[in-house]
């Protein structure tokens, strides 16, 4: 009897789990060139060009985000520089987000940094992150396909300059030297 109950439970649960598809976002950070939102360089006014890249981080909630989709360049449209496209990404690819079901609510953020598509956010000295945005993700709900929304609901933001570790280390060594020399003079 226990085996029969286990078999019936598995038979009912496995198809239900198989129909719950992952959520989908469309990697366009703007749906029109003029209205933004935009990502700016450290001066707060210069829109990022194709020497900067971005990537979507998404998940079920703001504490469980992971990198999803490609690293894409700013200021390009279908791989080519486009006047007015600086500060935004027109990648157009659908990005699948595990852990968020199609038609369900999830969170995304846009990470942006200086460098090429093979560079990393952690290694960049100019970088920034958008605020967390809650959205209804697209995908196949089992009763129909919902298109993935554009990733364009974050507020415009600027990158920040992150000092290199060697700069911080040299600064601390210099401060230590000043303190040591001051102690010698007072002794």
Do residues 37 and 152 touch, judged by C-beta distance below 8 A?
yes
Residue indicated by tokens 């609510």: 105
Closest by CA to 70, choosing from 57, 59, 84, is 57
Q: How far apart are the first and last CA of the chain?
A: 88
pLDDT tens-digit profile of 78-133?
A: 778 877 789 998 888 889 998 999 999 999 999 999 999 999 999 999 999 999 99
Nearest to 139 by CA among 96, 90, 92: 96
Tokens of 38: 């935009």
Nearest of 109, 88, 108 to residue 100 by alpha carbon: 108
> What is the tens place of the pLDDT at every residue in 3-53?
444 444 444 444 444 345 899 999 988 877 667 899 999 999 999 999 999
CA distance 187 to 128: 47
Find out whether 139 and 172 touch, Cβ atoms under 8 Å.
Answer: no
Q: Would you say 139 and 97 are in contact if contact means Cβ atoms under 8 Å apart?
A: no
To the question of pTM greater than 0.85 for the whole model, the response is no
Q: Which residues contact 43 (CB under 8 A, 6 or more apart)?
A: 158
Confirm if 22 and 100 have CB atoms less than 8 A apart: yes
Q: How do the domains of the chain map onto residue ranges?
A: 21-186
Whole-number Å distance between alpha carbons of 156 and 26: 18
């Amino acid at each position: 009897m226990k085996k029969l109950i286990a078999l019936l439970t598995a038979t009912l649960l496995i198809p239900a789990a198989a129909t719950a598809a992952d959520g989908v976002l469309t990697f366009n950070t703007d749906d029109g060139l003029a209205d933004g939102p935009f990502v700016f360089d450290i001066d707060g006014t210069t829109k990022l060009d194709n020497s900067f890249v971005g990537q979507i981080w998404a998940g079920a909630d703001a504490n469980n985000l992971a990198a999803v989709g490609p690293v894409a360049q700013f200021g390009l449209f279908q791989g080519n520089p486009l006047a007015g496209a600086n500060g935004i990404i027109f990648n157009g690819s659908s990005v699948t987000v595990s852990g968020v079901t199609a038609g369900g609510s999830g969170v995304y953020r846009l990470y942006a940094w200086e460098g090429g598509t093979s560079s990393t956010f952690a290694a960049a000295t100019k970088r920034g992150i958008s605020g967390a945005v809650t959205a209804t993700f697209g995908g196949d709900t089992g009763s129909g396909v919902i298109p993935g929304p554009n990733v364009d609901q974050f507020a415009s933001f600027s990158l920040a300059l992150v000092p290199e570790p060697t700069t911080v280390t040299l600064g601390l060594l210099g401060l230590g030297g000043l303190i040591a020399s001051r102690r010698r003079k007072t002794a």
